[in-house]
Each structure stands twice: as structure tokens, then as C-alpha cells.
Chains A and B, each alone.
Chain A
Amino acid sequence: MDVATIFGLCGSALVGLGLYGLITNPQPLRKILSFNLLGGGVFMLFGVVARRGAAAGLGGDPVPQALVITGIVVAFSATAIAVALLLRLYKETGNISLSPNDPEKADTHQGKP
């Protein structure tokens, strides 16, 4: 068991955890959080692949590392759009429920802000 394998297993578990939160948590903001959790796990698996590709005097393969840097920035951009959509939905309707069929139920719980 080496360091890369430990983090490989950890990253695999993080992907599963993030996916679970994404599916089961009804709140959109928590889904966004879980999605980022999942993304962190995927990036970590990439990092493990990079570490195992250590060669030519480098501690890891620089190509996947550069891809992950790009990925982190793109993930942030997507998160910013998702959050902006969510906040606009809340300001328009006073509600952020994702369930399509119960507008009445939602209205009784929450008035307009």
C-alpha cells in the first residue's frame, strides 16, 4: 500500500459520497455542494494517476495536473452560474423547490419574500 493507492481509495469513496448527496438531498444548494464534493473526488483520482506517472525527475505527470487546474477553474465557473440561477429563482418565486408537481404545497409553506 503506497500513498497514491490510499488516496486512490479515498477519491473513489468521495465520488460515491458526492453522488449520494447529489441524488438524495432535496435542497438545490446542497446538491451543488455535493456535486463539488464529487468533482473533488474525480480530481483526486486524476492526481493519483499523475503521481503514478512520475518520471523524468518530476514528482508526477504534469499533463493531468494541468488538466486538473483547468478543471478546478471550470468547476468554479459552473458553480457560480448554478448559484446565480438558484438565487434568481428564489427572488422570483420565493421558493427553490425542484419538485415539479406540488406548487400548492410549496406555496403554503413559504410566502413571497
Chain B
Amino acid sequence: MTGAILFAIAIAALLLAVAVWVVVARTAFTATVGFIVYGLLLALVWVALSAVDVALTEAAIGSGVTGMLLLGAAAQLRATEANVESTSLPLKLSAGILCVLVSGGLAAVMLDPPAVAPTLAPEATAKLSATGLGNPVAGVLFAYRALDTLLEKVVVVLALIGVWSLTPDRAWGGVPGLRLYARPSGTLTLLAQVLPPVGIMLGIYMFWTGADNPGGAFQGGALLAAMWLLVMVARLQPVPPTSLGRLRLLVTIGPFIFLTIGFAGFALAGSFLAYPIDYAKPLIVVAETGLTLSIGVTLALLVAGPAERSA
């Protein structure tokens, strides 16, 4: 048994224990804390599976931003936890049997892999130099499967429209109900003053290096979102009203630039989202710059939620 296998077994055991904790924990708040730990452990799994790009995304979005969203909700819903109707034993038993069957089926598939594992890695690397990118994952996201990436950006904006449309009439266009903490001169204020310069630098670096190394628009954008939320939660910057024109511009500019480049592809390279060979890298960088900004702002606004007070 090598060190890598022992490490994998340890992480897998820990992950399962935390997952059980998330399911059985008594309060939603502790379950959410467990979920954040689960996300961070999952990021370690991704490193062990040689997928550092995914590890960064999982840590930043799957654990960090999702965790913050759910912690806020758990705190607001704490009063509703007293009157939970418990699930009947037969239902629990039959659900347990179903879940064991599902897990068993998946495990059987995992234990019996095809003799030659299907892979697109050779195809993905073969044409990568034409895009000017060094990171094959970025190549898939922005060249081979750029349409998926574009649609996903649209999904994030649609989600924000969905969240905002839950605004009560009286608060429309007002300030989101992000929970603000911070007493003056608290630890949070200090953190919110010290961390953002570093975090913003790191976010920009992560977006920039994403072309050749693990990183990219999602991970960089999530860091920017975290820094902005930190500054708002600590009351160093006001939460902007959702009717603010600049804010809406920032949300849409990334998908807009990406779409423009996509349509320009018809004229310049013969099809939607195709890049002319000589300009592939600069065009991808322009698209990613807009997307990093839009993702950062949109993720933060999704966590902040719909408007609750009129501006």
C-alpha cells in the first residue's frame, strides 16, 4: 500500500463521515457547517484526482459561496426547526433500501471499468496550440465547448433574474437583505480591510494564469465575489440597490461580450463562437475578462438575495 492509497482511504472515510453528519445533524446550522467542511474535503479529492481546476472551483464556489448562502438561510430559518414533523419508520426503511441499491449499482459500475477507458484527452491536446492556451481545461471551456460555457453564463444571469423576481412589490429595486454584522473595530472589520487587496490580486491572477495553469474566470470571479461580500457584510461599503444601472451593466457585460465575439465568429471564422486563428488567444482573454467581472458581481448578488428594503 502506498502513501497515495492511504491518503485516499483516509480522505474518503472522512468525507463519508462528514456526509453522514450533514444528513443526521440536529440543526440546519450545524449541518451547513458540515457541508462547508464536505466541500473543502471534496476539493482535496479533486487534487488527488489530478483535477486542480475543479478543486479550485469546488473550494471557491461549491464550498465557499454556497456555504455562505446556506449559512445565511439557516440562521433566518432557525425558528422553524422546532415544529418538524418526523418521517415515519417505513418510509425511512424503504428510502434506505432504495439508496443502498442506488449506491450498490453505482459501485458495481465503478468496480468494473471498461478495459480501455474512454478519453478525449489526445483530441483535446492535439489542437490546443492553435488556441494559444496552455491549460487543456480552459481550452475545452473556451474553445471546444465554448457554447456550453456561454449558456452557463446565461444560466447564472437567469438565476439572478429568478432570485430578483422574488422581491416583494414594495421593495422592488431596493437594497438586498444581506445580513450585515460588524460592530465598529471588530475582527471582521479588520479582516475586511486587510484581506480584499490580497484577495482581489489573487482573483485577477487566477483569471490571468487560467490560460496556461489551473485557474480561470470562474475561480477568479468567485474570489472577487467573496471579497466584495466581505466588505459589504462588514459594513465598509453599502449594499447597492438592485435598480443601480452600473450594477446591472456589470452583471450582463460578460455574457454580452462573449455573445458579440460569438456572432463575430460568423464573419471572421465562418461559424458561431469560432475564433480566427491569429486572434484566438486575445479574443478568449477579452471574453474571460468580462466574464470574470460578471461572475464576481452575479455570484455576490445571488448570495445577497432579493431586495428587502426600498432604496
A interface, CB within 8 angstroms of B: 1-21, 23-27, 29-30, 32-34, 36-37, 40, 43-45, 47-63, 65-70, 72-81, 83-88, 90-91, 95-97, 99, 102, 106, 109-110, 113
Contacts and interface: CB of A to CB of B under 8 A. Distances in A.
A58 B121 contact: yes
Contact of A33 (B22, B46, B152): B22
Given A9-B107, A69-B218, A76 B51 contact: no
A79 B70 contact: yes
Interface stretch (B134-142, B199-207, B250-258, B281-289): B134-142
Contacts of A21: 22-23
B103 to A, nearest CB: 3
Nearest to B163: A84
B137 A3 contact: no
A53 B28 contact: no
Closest 4 CB pairs of A and B: A59-B50, A53-B119, A16-B103, A8-B110
Contact of B118 (A13, A53, A66): A53
A19 B99 CA distance: 6
Given A10-B15, A51-B50, A87-B77, 16 more contacts: A1-B5, A4-B49, A7-B45, A17-B23, A20-B99, A21-B23, A26-B85, A34-B23, A36-B35, A36-B62, A43-B58, A54-B121, A59-B49, A60-B49, A73-B156, A109-B82
Given A20-B23, A62-B136, A76-B62, A106 B81 contact: no
30 contacts: A3-B5, A3-B49, A6-B5, A6-B9, A7-B48, A8-B110, A13-B103, A16-B106, A20-B23, A29-B70, A30-B31, A37-B38, A44-B45, A47-B45, A50-B49, A51-B51, A52-B117, A52-B119, A56-B126, A61-B124, A62-B140, A63-B145, A67-B145, A69-B141, A69-B218, A77-B155, A85-B166, A95-B80, A99-B85, A110-B79
Given A70-B149, A109-B82, A19 B87 contact: no
B49 A47 contact: yes
A62 B124 contact: yes
Nearest to B148: A70
B159 A34 contact: no
A98 B295 CA distance: 33
Interface in B101-132: 102-104, 106-107, 110-111, 113, 117-122, 124-126
Contacts of B211: none
Contacts of B141: 66, 69-70
Contact of A63 (B32, B117, B124): B124
Query: Of B61, B99, B155, which is in contact with the most chain A CB atoms at under 10 Å from its CB?
Result: B99
A48 B54 CA distance: 12
Interface of A is mostly: helix
A29 B69 CA distance: 11
B290 interface: no
A57 to B, nearest CB: 7
Nearest to B32: A33
